[in-house]
Chains A and B, each alone.
Chain A
Amino acid sequence: MSGKSDSMLSLDEVSLSIHGTPILHKVSFQLAQGGTLGVIGESGSGKSMTALSIMQLLPRGSVLTGSIRFAGQELTGLGESDLCKLRGSDIGMVFQEPMTALNPVKSIGSQVSESVRLHRDVGRREADIVAMKTLARAGLPNEQFPLSRFPHELSGGQRQRVVIAIAIACKPKLLIADEPTTALDVTTQKGILDLLKQLQHEEGLGLMLITHDLAVISSMADDIVVINKGRIVEQGHMASVFNSPEKDYTRQLFAASALTQVRRDNSAHLVKPDTKPLLVVKNLVCEYSTGSRKLFAAPRYFRAIDDASFTIHEGESMGLVGESGCGKSTLARALLGLMPLHSGSIELGGESVSSMQQVSRAARKLMQIVFQDPYGSFNPRHKVERLVGEPLHVLDEKLGAAERSRRVAQVLTSVGMCSEDRDKYIHEFSGGQRQRIAIARSLIIKPGIIILDEAVSALDVCVRAQVLELLDELAKEQGLAYLFISHDLGVVQRVTDKVMVMRNGKVLEHGLTATVFAAPVHDYTKALIAASPVLTL
């Protein structure tokens, strides 16, 4: 790594506490001119706070010690007005949530040119010209995206490009990007990462890329810093840390990202001739109306699911991939009878059903679901016993309180929790524990298929690996089948036997996972696979 003297940014023993709670402890690292530094850590590790510390945009009650040098200047202790001069012109920052990062009532042009007028002594017209050029460089050509556009007229990826334009408008030397693509689709993510690389190349920008996604870092960074609980665990050149990690935590992190623990053997899977098909979907179409544009015109319909057909056998793990809006969650809901079916049929355990009511009654005894958000999927006011026992409502026989309690305890232990946990409230548990409880909830009526709707997407890498291991074990013990919905191709590749690719409601490609990933047929599948950052060097 380059020595301290020629680095553009160097942090030395930076410690941060907010209202007395220690957040960062003696963090030190450097970033060379024009280099890319990847900062990787799980949620709560302090990586975002490190970025905010550099910009000195910390919340009230923050106490910062240590030294932060940028281009030879010491930033700590600098007055607010001097800092304001640096921010936006020498150091630019891009944040995680593009949907809320822009002022909704101001046009994109005014937000970019504001940056210019702030730091350069130019008039409005000149600033607008610079704004137009910058937006074009960020991948938003002026014909389609004039300065007068408003943020709500743009998609997430486009908004992120505007944020990048704002950050680079004054040609800064350093760009800090805090999880810039986490909230975006895979293909959009690739576009943004390519843009960042390109800008770096053209301008000689230093880039500090903060993320939890190791695959993204491996494709972008020269040097890497691993941070955990506010401390730097390990740092160095990308290659050396990757090939020979020194610390246990780093090893653990890499292993979890590569999902080496998951033992699903999908390479040799073949449907045995006597395996029953549990779920057969034929030509399913689901629509919903989007209201009428004009006052008296007929309402328009949107095809959320367009002629979908597939089969899931006993014990099989079927993956469903696609980008946001492709219809994967809608499909899950249609299978559970939460959405009306327009046409087509669903055969569950031999019974064919075609209306929403019929589907729901049949479906719920056979299929259960685990949702994405471990925080939102439980009623905060109920105890765990009541939450986990809720699906028992589906059973025909009414169970007494003692029996319910017993079953809840049993299913909790099967997911690695204790039976005493049923008397607690859900807020007493962490994200990973909640997902285990969610899995317990889905197991309690002994279903044949569990739908996992992005069930591990919101979890930290290490926790995710543990939950996937759990799912693996349960499948082996109880012969469960899974419908594994995810946008994360890496995970799907590891965890499923077969896979379906969806786009705009249509199933574009399906087949054995190994086959589809090795030799994709459809162009879109090829694009998806190409866009997914892969954990290699």
Chain B
Amino acid sequence: MSEAMSRKMFLGRAAAGGALLSAPGLLRAAAASAAAPALPKTITFSNWPLYIDLNKKKQHPSLLQFQQAHPGTTVRYIEDINDNDSFFGKIEGPLSQGQSVGRDLIVLTDSSGLPQRMIQLGWLEQWDKSAMPHFKNLIPAQQHPIWDPHREYSLPWQSGMTGIGYDPKKVGYEIDSVDKLFTDPKLKGKVTLLTEMADTMGLVMLSNGDDPSHVTQASWNAAKTKIQKAVKSGQIRQFTGNDYAPLLANGSIYACFAWSGDMVQLQADHPGLKWIAPKTGAMIWTDNMLIPKGGDVYGASVLADWFYIPKIAAEVEDYVNYICPVTGADKILEKSDPAVAKNPLIFPPASLLKQTHQFDANALNNVKYKQDFQHLIGA
């Protein structure tokens, strides 16, 4: 039984009968009390495409279940985020003028620097943690990011790793390092890198032995020069978004910087393709749920919390196949879909996670670095 319903009942009947106060959330609600907010009629949730569970009838069971548990509220789910910068460019207009963007919950990637930027600009609302009893299910590794140390504004939706995707048949051997992409003459013109600054520069810095979470001018220049040489010589063919996928699938490229979740999908039709974390290290990024200013804080908080219920998280994870930030989901999946539960790209073991790094949060919004990178990729 949901808290909102219980809360209404509680309010409706004057002072407490012990029979109602069963769920832990209710006790807190009882204490906080009299003017407890109600859920809005509609909660608008903008997300990336195919990032939520989808059943054979093409509905979203997790959302349907939310609506059943919270009658009177519907979730308007819109899959209109396909690029961090583009989406931000679209919402910054209204936000900078103090107007609402018509959404209660949005999802942006930390490695774009945008969640951080929005916090600095004051364009995000804070969670109503009193409405989020499942917040504690957030995995430990994600609990204190540098840019939002107490998770007041953000909550992970899914994470992903960036590493090397390649076709062993075309390459001829097992790749294990970034340097191979840059130096192997057999791969000339058959390699692509990503247009994401954090991913590309991060992986290359790691291959130089530098730490991408603390970018210095020296480490930046070293990575930049390495990439520049490879682009000039034609070793690197293009910089792509996720359009490396068709190129890898049809054999136009042999190896590339790739996202772990994409590989899981490509492998369904091309089981020979591989994804590895380079031996010098991989990058990890997280898509975060955020409440833009003007969104309904209570509604968004309750909805976000819903996805931290392990059963719900397991449903979503079973379809999405990126990295789950909710503890307990893997235990559930071990019984219902063991293949997913055992896939190291979806529930990476601690040994793999230790090899992942995040990009320096301050460098992400540094204008000079961003300009440098744009010039690298041709603009």
**Do A and B associate with each other?**
no
Chain B residues with a Cβ under 8 A of chain A: none
